[in-house]
Amino acid sequence: MNVSMVDRHNSQSQHRVVIVGGGFGGLYAAQALGRAPVEVKVIDKRNFHLFQPLLYQVATGTVSPADISSPLRLVLRKNQNTQVLLDEVVDIDPDEKKVILPDGEMPYDTLAIATGVSHHYFGNDHWKNYAPGLKTIEDALEMRRRIFAAFEAAEKESNPQRRQAWLTFVIAGGGPTGVELAGAIAEIAHGALKKDFRTIDTTAAKIILIEGLDRILPPYSPDLSARAQADLEKLGVTIRTQTLVTNVAENAVTVRHENQEEVIPTETILWAAGVKASPLGKVIHERTGAELDRAGRVIVEPDLSLANYPDIFVIGDLANFPHQGDRPLPGVAPVAMQEGQYFAKLIRKRLQGDTVAPFRYVDYGSLAVIGQNSAVVDLGFVKLTGVIAWLAWVFAHIYYLIEFDNKLTVMLQWGWNYFTRGRGARLITGEDSLGKIAQRMKSGYYDAEKPTEQVEVR
Amino acid sequence: MNVSMVDRHNSQSQHRVVIVGGGFGGLYAAQALGRAPVEVKVIDKRNFHLFQPLLYQVATGTVSPADISSPLRLVLRKNQNTQVLLDEVVDIDPDEKKVILPDGEMPYDTLAIATGVSHHYFGNDHWKNYAPGLKTIEDALEMRRRIFAAFEAAEKESNPQRRQAWLTFVIAGGGPTGVELAGAIAEIAHGALKKDFRTIDTTAAKIILIEGLDRILPPYSPDLSARAQADLEKLGVTIRTQTLVTNVAENAVTVRHENQEEVIPTETILWAAGVKASPLGKVIHERTGAELDRAGRVIVEPDLSLANYPDIFVIGDLANFPHQGDRPLPGVAPVAMQEGQYFAKLIRKRLQGDTVAPFRYVDYGSLAVIGQNSAVVDLGFVKLTGVIAWLAWVFAHIYYLIEFDNKLTVMLQWGWNYFTRGRGARLITGEDSLGKIAQRMKSGYYDAEKPTEQVEVR
């Protein structure tokens, strides 16, 4: 039996597993430990598990936050060995084997850290005021507010240039999130909102997707990227590859393509590029000496543990697993799920005195949705596009949602939206939902008497 | 033809109706004018109509904000004569016949103001930091955050007194909103959450409903009040009538009953007592000389117009209509709806040169829900209680919801919750959702070494 597994606390009879983070990695780990002879504590800052792959649907007004969230207590209620705690781990003490909370500490025998990543502005953190990312419910509601408020402001705007800026949506990053956002906004402009306005023509909205590499969805095969691009363009999205965002301001984004800089006037910039590790990555590095990659993710051993601390594991997006293929495993839900399950299996085996083989990710394929009838799916042995891919995408997601919480209403909401093309959840909420628009419209950065420089937007 | 109806603006061929506020009054007015030969502008600070009677269900985690909200544009999209504007009316100029916006103005031929009421702390506005009211989506989310965060904090709290304060919920005001909140929180504590915690027994939660008069639901008949009280007590609610709230602090509420003051330690105080008119009430008074009642509501003429301004109307909760019965009409949705429809009819008739009889409210009865199987309904000729009243309540509300926006999902959500007793929408959201709890737990107002005075809670 592994030395680190010996319980040093006589008051506790059971092996204590502390899991930090209730995302896909942490939740799958906890679920898989539900019947193991261990005492599990799941610590999360939030009281719910968030189904992040559908967050863009909250941002674009199709579903409500609760539709893609499951209370952690509800999901884990049947696991009598498990306690959920709403708290934040701010530090760890790997030698004393405890995690530090803002108002206390908690001992562990085995620790799994799965606090994920947030978005990253490549050293330009002030951009986040103008270009929200999409990692939390609050992020999604902020995007939703901006997207729908932009159409409202355009309806009231008499100056054509300013109106066009309100009707211009720039999405930075051509990965799955950027593609899904661009497709959904195009569908809003050309579908749901088309008949709702009297002054503006919402179909005149410009949706511009910016990608630094030479094609969108770079992890996919080139033909799927091409198909995704064609489908997005059919929806009215302008795609600009090999283009870098060099500046983000309140009312414009600056991009560079082949050494040419260009300013695009826009009131709505959405950030879907770049991630950085949660702050616990740095803490782990400082306390254990574990190496970090450039994004701050923790480089783990083949069994997901840390080099000198076999009782500390990092799973999910926060982990950099370099032991399979020529690149680290991608930060997607299936990797996190499998890592969580592997971790649970390893613990059970260790407690029985057994060992397990190193972690191996089984790739069942990747998929990204483009619109209400279109997606791209790469299963390795077969590639799907169009309606069939879209149906595959729908069923894969419903399968995972139902597994947790019988989210029947999401399916019905989708069905309803599909046939009505409505956007029932397009509420502009937040204490200051009108204030910001009014302020920005009044602030005079666009002065009617001093027309802004004419900028051609391709 | 009424003089005020003559269009003074040659550039406009049609009579211009400006409706301020998209609640029940404003929305029903706009809908009823959909085919009239007028140009309608609906101005609201929010982009959605809110079905306020179900707001308590958002506050208690049964449904999502979008489930009880309908985008105003979507509801009014088929009315080609109608434009919805996201804006705020800050002043009116009744002689120039225009409304003043933060960044402009808008002329009208006829004006309807329906901006409703907000809650009122009887001159103690600082109480609102500790005792949120329930008028907006943001209010409801704040209540939801506090209710569910209180259980989370209790689960982490080792001091029994502090834990009991987290598990004590005080609702000020025994009207329909207070009754509905108290019943729903009792059901949460005794049902949905019962199996989710490991340290606390959620059924030990104290839910205390405070009412100043001698019975809850004072507008109802005494026997219905008695039945509601019995049903609430069966759910585990403590009802204290003839009790006044004399102070609200961060961690306690002070009440007075028969000249005896008592401090109840509690971390969650919800405000369901007292309303005051929207700020436009005062503006109307200053600009037109119209009288206000004590709550700041505008006293209207028998046709809902203002005494010296037959082209300005006040409808819904903001209006005090004293011309029927011995009390002003209550601030409930059916009154607002009928006033909105009356206004529309009056405009149509005026344009044809006709007059209409004074407004008369037709009372189809009142109803309040107590729990998942219980309600009280007073239809005048018959009084219902228990399951039958609950079913009447459900169908009345679904009828109205479906009228606007086919909110099929609400019905399904209810059905699902009814059978599972789940609380799927119990998310604790907001940028600072953990911060507040952590801060309050750490702030030391409960000092473990200096135990708080023992206070008996009846």
Chain A residues with CB-CB distance to B448 below 8 A:
none
Higher-confidence position of A70 and A82: A82
Distance in angstroms (rounded) separating the CA atoms of residues B224 and B376: 6
Q: Is B239 within 8 Å of B209 (Cβ atoms)?
A: yes
Local confidence band at A403 (pLDDT 50, 70, 90 cut-offs): low
Task: Work out whether the CA dihedral B429, B434, B437, B440 comes out positive or negative.
Answer: negative
- What's the alpha-carbon Rg for chain A, to the nearest Å? 23
Find the closest chain B residue to A414 by CA distance. B409
The answer to whether A258 is a known catalytic residue is no
Give the pLDDT score at A458.
28
**For residues A291 and A319, is the Cβ–Cβ distance under 8 A?**
no
Residues B300-353: pLDDT tens digits?
Answer: 999 999 999 999 999 999 999 999 988 899 888 889 999 999 999 999 999 999
Q: How far is CA A83 from CA A86, A122, A138, A154, B108, in A?
A: 10, 37, 26, 49, 61
Q: What is the pLDDT of residue A456?
A: 29
A144-169 core/surface letters (b: 16 or more CB in 10 A; e: else)? bbbbbbbbbbbbbbeeeebbbbbbbb
pLDDT for residue B294 is more than 50: yes
Say whether B252 sits in a helix, a strand or coil. Answer: strand
Residues of A in contact with B422 (CB under 8 A): 74
Calculate the average pLDDT of chain A.
85
Nearest-neighbour CA in chain A from B201: distance (Å): 14
> Contact, A114 vs A26, CB < 8 A?
yes
Chosen from A85, A199, A429 to mutate, greatest number of chain B CBs within 10 A: A429
Flag whether pLDDT at A199 surpasses 90.
yes
- Give pLDDT, residue A417: 57
In this predicted structure, what is the pLDDT of residue B454?
Answer: 30
Give the lowest-confidence range in A65-79, A149-163, B393-407: B393-407
Look at residue B452 and tell me whether its pLDDT is greater than 50.
Answer: no
Question: Chain A residues with CB inside 8 Å of B14's CB?
Answer: none
> Pick from A64, A73, A433: which is nearest to B64 by CB?
A64
Contact A155, A238 (CB under 8 A): no
Q: Does the pLDDT value for residue B263 go beyond 80?
A: yes
* Sheet hosting strand B252-257, strand order edge to edge: B243-248, B252-257, B260-265
Local confidence band at A221 (pLDDT 50, 70, 90 cut-offs): confident
Query: CB within 8 A of A297, min separation 6: which ones?
Result: A117, A277, A281, A317, A318, A319, A320, A328
Q: d(Cα B164, Cα B159) in Å, to the nearest integer?
A: 9
The pLDDT of B235-258, averaged and rounded, is 96
Per-residue pLDDT band at A38 (split at 50, 70, 90)? very high
Does residue A6 carry a pLDDT above 50? Answer: no
Name the band, by pLDDT with cuts 50, 70 and 90, for residue A424: low
Token look-up 């984004």 returns: A253
Closest alpha carbon to A252 in A240, A260, A264: A264
- Residue B12's alpha-carbon distances to A270, A443, B7, B121, B348, in angstroms, are 40, 31, 8, 45, 18
**pLDDT over 70 (residue A455):** no
Q: Decide if B3-45+87-119+275-351 and B125-273+366-442 have a common fold.
A: yes
Task: With cut-offs at 50, 70 and 90, classify the pLDDT of residue A9.
Answer: very low
Q: Which helix (H) or strand (E) holds B18?
A: strand B15-20
Over its C-alpha atoms, chain B yields an Rg (Å, rounded) of 23
Give the torsion sign (CA, B309, B315, B317, B322). Answer: positive
Q: Identify the band that residue A363 occupies on the pLDDT scale cut at 50, 70 and 90.
A: confident
Mean pLDDT of chain B: 85
Q: What is the pLDDT of residues B71-86, one digit of tens each?
A: 899 889 889 999 999 9
- A275 Cα to chain B: minimum distance (Å): 20
Contact: A409, B405; criterion CB under 8 Å: no
Q: What is the predicted pLDDT for the residue at A443? A: 36
Q: Is a pLDDT exceeding 80 seen at residue A448?
A: no
State the complex-level ipTM. Answer: 0.81
Chain A's closest residue to B82, CA to CA, is A198
Which contiguous run of DSSP H or E holds residue B377?
A: strand B374-378
Question: Is residue B457 predicted with pLDDT exceeding 50?
Answer: no
* Residue B154 Cα, gap to closest chain A Cα (Å): 10
Cα separation values, A43 from A34, A81, A88, B254, Å: 16, 14, 7, 35
Look at residue B419 and tell me whether its pLDDT is greater than 60.
no
- The answer to whether the CB atoms of B74 and A438 lie below 8 A apart is no
> A302-317, pLDDT tens digit by residue?
999 999 999 999 999 9
Given a cut of 70, is residue A383 above it in pLDDT?
yes
Residue A64 has a pLDDT of: 82
Among A200, A409, A412, most B C-beta atoms within 10 A, so best to mutate, is: A409
Distance from CA of A434 to the nearest CA of B (A): 6
In CATH, what class is A125-273+366-442?
alpha beta
List Cβ neighbours of A349 (8 Å cut-off, separation of 6 or more).
A355, A356
The structure tokens listed for A388 are: 């069939």
Q: Do A438 and B102 touch (CB under 8 A)?
A: yes
**Domain spanning B3-45+87-119+275-351, CATH architecture:** 3-Layer(bba) Sandwich (3.50)
Query: B39, B88, B142, B180: which is the annotated catalytic residue?
Result: B180
The closest CB to that of A64, out of B65, B422, B430, belongs to B65
How far from B128 is each of A27, B208, B212, B276, CA to CA, in Å?
A: 37, 18, 19, 14
Is the pLDDT score of B412 beyond 70? no
Coil, helix or strand at residue B115: coil
- The yes-or-no verdict on residue A20 having pLDDT over 60 is yes
- Find tokens 């003559």 and name the residue: B6
CA–CA gap between residue A367 and residue A220 (Å, rounded): 9
Is pLDDT at A392 greater than 90 in this prediction?
Answer: no
Q: Is the Cα dihedral A220, A221, A224, A230 positive or negative?
A: positive
Candidates A142, A180, A187, A301; catalytic one: A180
Q: What is the pLDDT of residue A413?
A: 58
User: How do residues A103-144 score in pLDDT, each as one tens digit?
Assistant: 899 999 999 999 999 988 888 989 989 999 999 999 999 999
Using the predicted structure, report yes or no on whether residue B215 has a pLDDT greater than 60: yes
Q: What is the pLDDT of residue B382?
A: 81
Site from A41, A47, A199 to mutate, B interface, most B CB atoms within 10 angstroms: A47
Give the pLDDT confidence of B86-136 residue by residue, as tens digits. 999 999 999 999 999 998 999 999 999 999 999 889 889 899 899 999 999
Annotate B310-320 with b (16+ C-beta within 10 A) or e (fewer): bbbbbbbbbbb
Which of A426, A428, A434 shows the shortest C-beta gap to B88? Answer: A434
What's the pLDDT at A384?
A: 83
**What's the average model confidence in pLDDT over B41-67?**
89
pLDDT surpassing 60 at residue A450: no
A66/B427 CB distance under 8 A: yes
Three-state secondary-structure class, residue B424: coil
Mean pLDDT for the stretch of residues A55-75? 86
User: Among partner residues A47, A422, A438, which is closest to B427 by beta-carbon distance?
Assistant: A47
A419: pLDDT confidence band, cut at 50, 70 and 90? low
What pLDDT score was predicted for residue B435?
46
Strand order across the B374-378 sheet? B366-371, B374-378, B383-385
Do B424 and A46 count as a contact with CB atoms less than 8 A apart? no
What is the pairing mode between strands B69-71 and B48-50?
antiparallel
Average pLDDT over residues B356-362: 95
Q: Please give the pLDDT value at position A23.
A: 94
Per residue, what are the HEC states of chain A? CCHHHCCCCCCCCCEEEEEECCCHHHHHHHHHCCCCCEEEEEEECCCEEECHHHHHHHHCCCCCHHHHEEEHHHHCCCCCCEEEEECCCCEEECCCCEEEECCEEEECCEEEECCCEEECCCCCHHHHHCCCCCCCHHHHHHHHHHHHHHHHHHHHCCCHHHHHHHCEEEEECCCHHHHHHHHHHHHHHHHHCCCCCCCCCHHHCEEEEECCCCCCCCCCCHHHHHHHHHHHHHHCEEEECCEEEEEECCCEEEEEECCEEEEEECCEEEECCCEEECCHHHHHHHHHCCCECCCCCEECCCCCEECCEEEEEECHHHEECCCCCCCCCCCCHHHHHHHHHHHHHHHHHHHCCCCCCCCCCCCCCEEEEEECCEEEEECCCCEEEHHHHHHHHHHHHHHHHHHHHCCHHHHHHHHHHHHHCCCCCCCCCCCCHHHHHHHHHHCCCCCCCCCCCCCCCC
What are the φ/ψ torsions at residue A191 (nearest 5 degrees)?
-125, -90
Residue B120: what pLDDT? 86
Shortest Cα distance, chain B CAs vs residue A238, angstroms: 27
- Contact (Cβ atoms closer than 8 angstroms) between residue B114 and residue B336: yes
Q: Where are the domains of chain B?
A: 3-45+87-119+275-351, 125-273+366-442
Give the pLDDT score at A283: 98
- pLDDT band per the 50, 70, 90 thresholds, residue B54: confident
Q: What is the pLDDT of residue A252?
A: 96
The CA distance from B320 to B285, in Å, is 13
The dihedral through the CA atoms of B192, B193, B194, B196 has a sign that is positive
